[in-house]
Structure 1
Amino acid sequence: MATEEGVVFKMGSPEAGTVWVKTTRSSACASCSSKDVCNVGGEGKEMEMEVEAINTADARVGDRIVLNIKTGSLLKATFLLYVFPILAMIAGAVLGQTVAVMRGSDPSGLSALFGFLFFGLAFIVIRITGRRLSENTSYKPEIIKVRGRQSPSTDALVMPQTEL
């Protein structure tokens, strides 16, 4: 189970029971090998991400929350994004090599052509699969805890007037 902290900044779809959360660079980033070169949020800014989460803890806008991301789902998505395209490219290169030997043509050229073709097709498969998985609730983060509720601002408080 991977957890992240964030702040609810917008209510999502009421029928889906979701909210939008902003998360910032966390302790998980400290052990990442890419932490020195990662600047998704821009130079000099903390990395921020916006994510739609299932609101099981009844969080409201302004609440500090803890998100749970299922490790199995995270690993499957990571495999799909990083390992699958490489495996597809290798499979295409091997197929290109085999076809070139059977046809008696240049194995290097056909191997490269098939490799890049399969690499491109892998991204189409990722796009289609990603859309399908985005609707699956097991791939969405879930709010498991509200750390702090937003206190009402003093501007919103109206003091009743009493007659003396």
Structure 2
Amino acid sequence: MATEEGVVYKMGAPGAGTAWVKTIRSSACESCSSRHACHADGGGKEMEVEAINTADARVGDRIVLNIKTASLLKATFLLYVFPILAMIAGAALGQAVAVIQGTDPSGLSALLGFLFFGLAFMVIRITGRRLSKNASYQPEITKIRGHHSPSADALVLPETES
């Protein structure tokens, strides 16, 4: 499981069982399917994310967020590998069609490769929206580490392990 630490700064919608957490952006954020639900503050290092609140955390609590490794790997594959595979498939299809039609294989291969590459991003966007509603792809508050002083203006979090 990918683990991050943060501070709960507000509760989610009544009955939703969620809480909003401020955390420090890490490399795990890039492949997270819920990254569109996160908002960067200031310089973009501090992040805000809505998480499932299974630990019953309250505003001001220092917490631990978990994201399932399987979900993280699936999202990473979708984001990084799928577009390349789609582009290769489009290029191969263009090559085959060009040979059958007797046209320039390079031009048709490039055209279909880039077309499939663009279509892959449309598929990613649609799939990402669907997966973001799935609880297994959302961060979950699993532990409460303590209470953060609400009088502090700046959020100071310890460095976390990824």
> For residues 2 and 80 of structure 1, do their structure 2 counterparts lie closer, same or farther at Cα, with a shift above 3 Å needed?
same
Instruction: Find the partner of 1:97 among 87, 95, 98.
Output: 95
CA-CA distance at 1:149 after TM superposition: 2.2
Q: Which protein has greater RCO, CA pairs closer than 8 Å, 6+ apart?
A: 2
Deviates most, 48-57 or 74-83: 48-57
Question: 2:83 matched to which residue of 1?
Answer: 85
Question: 1:69 matched to which residue of 2?
Answer: 67
Unaligned 5+ residue runs, structure 2?
30-39, 152-162
Counterpart of 1:22, as a letter, is: K
CA-CA distance at 1:15 after TM superposition: 2.3
Unaligned 5+ residue runs, structure 1?
30-39, 154-164
Tell me the matched-pair count. 141
Contact 2:7/2:148 (8 A) holds in 1? no
User: Pairwise mapping of residues 5-154 of structure 1 onto structure 2 (< 5 A)?
Assistant: 5-25=5-25, 47-150=45-148
Normalising by structure 1, we get a TM-score of: 0.78
Q: Percent identity?
A: 82
Counterpart of 1:91, as a letter, is: A
Normalising by structure 2, we get a TM-score of: 0.79
Partners in 2 of 1:42 and 1:19 — Cα distance?
21
Tell me the C-alpha RMSD between the 2 structures: 2.4
CA-CA distance at 1:16 after TM superposition: 2.1
Partners in 1 of 2:42 and 2:88 — Cα distance?
34
CA deviation vs aligned residue, 1:38-96 (integer Å, no higher than 9, x gap): xx8776xx722221110011111221100011000000000000000000000000001
Contact 2:60/2:150 (8 A) holds in 1? no
Counterpart of 2:106, as a letter, is: S
> For residues 71 and 97 of structure 1, do their structure 2 counterparts lie closer, same or farther at Cα, with a shift above 3 Å needed?
same
Counterpart of 1:20, as a letter, is: W
